[in-house]
């Protein structure tokens, strides 16, 4: 999916919602544990229920890898299901990879050739040669960690050099030399508020993947006020607030209701922005 196709999906669906598939075997409804593949059964139901309200899905690899081979089978089946039945949705593998060049090349082969996802989250802190192998695939996106929503992000990402430039700013400035806004996005946590102004000063045309709305306390209105650009430029992720809206047999219906509420808020924001 290229940038214009993503923008078109946002405009048509009046939504920039990304549903995070952080599927924990210990949190899914008990009746699903008796199925052959509980994680995939849960994901399939969530996808079918929420697809009308979102433009993207983001499976977090940690939740699948924690179950070994069976977990990775569930991840693969989830991606295959999305590709077959919901090809218009943008698929993000939230794996936060990044290593020396030849290792990154293998990670890129894994996610872009074997699993055929649209994009992959990448940690940039080993530098250019750890990121560029992911950029060798036409039509695929790299989503670099820039300013994350977790409390510990201040330990390094907000550290400033002698000239006052913070590390997340250095990451954005340098990485723009590797790819443009048609191939690269940045992760910026929803809890960052007015700091989105600093992000937009450096990356006015890039899409931002924004976790932290909902369970982590981020404000959708604040994110949009400071982070939206002329192309919308946002994929706002919600995971727990949607997929665990209910632990009963109505879990899919509850997820749809939660996703619908967010989509309606997004529609109002897009309408106000005349997008």
DSSP class of residue 86 equals -
If you write DSSP's letter for every residue of 44-55 in order, what string do you get? HHHHHHHGGG-S
DSSP class of residue 267 equals H
Calculated CA dihedral for residues 195, 196, 200, 203, nearest 10 degrees = 90
CB-based burial label for 125 (10 Å; 0-12, 13-18, 19+): middle
Catalytic residue among 96, 225, 261, 267: 96
H or E segment to which residue 261 belongs: helix 251-272
Distance CA 65, CA 48 (A): 23
Distance CA 142, CA 129 (A): 14
Please name the residue that has the structure tokens 């509420």.
Answer: 261
Nearby residues of 52 by Cβ (< 8 Å), 6 or more positions away? 13, 256
Distance CA 227, CA 233 (A): 8
Q: Coil, helix or strand for 254?
A: helix
Nearby residues of 271 by Cβ (< 8 Å), 6 or more positions away? 14
Q: CA 261, 262, 264, 269 torsion: positive or negative?
A: positive
State yes or no: is 96 an active-site residue.
yes
Catalytic residues: 96
């Amino acid at each position: 999916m290229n940038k214009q196709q993503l923008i078109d999906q946002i405009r048509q669906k009046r939504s920039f919602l990304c549903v995070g598939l952080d599927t924990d075997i210990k949190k899914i409804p008990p009746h699903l544990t008796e199925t052959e593949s509980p994680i995939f059964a849960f994901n399939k139901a969530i996808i079918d229920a929420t697809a009308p309200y979102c433009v993207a899905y983001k499976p977090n690899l940690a939740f699948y890898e924690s179950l070994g081979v069976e977990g990775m089978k569930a991840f693969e089946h989830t991606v295959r299901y999305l590709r077959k039945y919901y090809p218009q949705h943008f698929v993000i593998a939230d794996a936060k990879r990044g290593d020396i060049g030849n290792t990154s090349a293998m990670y890129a082969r894994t996610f872009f050739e074997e699993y055929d996802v649209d994009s992959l989250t990448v940690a940039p802190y080993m530098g250019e040669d750890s990121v560029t192998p992911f950029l060798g695939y036409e039509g695929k996106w790299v989503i670099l960690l820039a300013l994350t929503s977790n409390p510990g992000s201040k330990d390094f990402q907000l550290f400033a050099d002698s000239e006052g430039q913070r590390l997340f700013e250095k990451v954005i400035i340098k990485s723009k030399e590797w790819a443009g806004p048609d191939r690269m996005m940045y992760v910026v946590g929803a809890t960052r508020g007015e700091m989105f102004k600093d992000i937009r000063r450096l990356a006015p045309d890039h899409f931002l993947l924004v976790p932290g709305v909902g369970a982590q306390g981020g404000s959708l209105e604040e994110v949009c006020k400071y982070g939206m650009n002329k192309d919308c430029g946002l994929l706002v992720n919600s995971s727990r607030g949607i997929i665990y809206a209910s632990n009963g047999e109505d879990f899919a219906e509850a997820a749809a209701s939660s996703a619908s509420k967010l989509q309606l808020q997004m529609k109002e924001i897009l309408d106000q922005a005349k997008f």
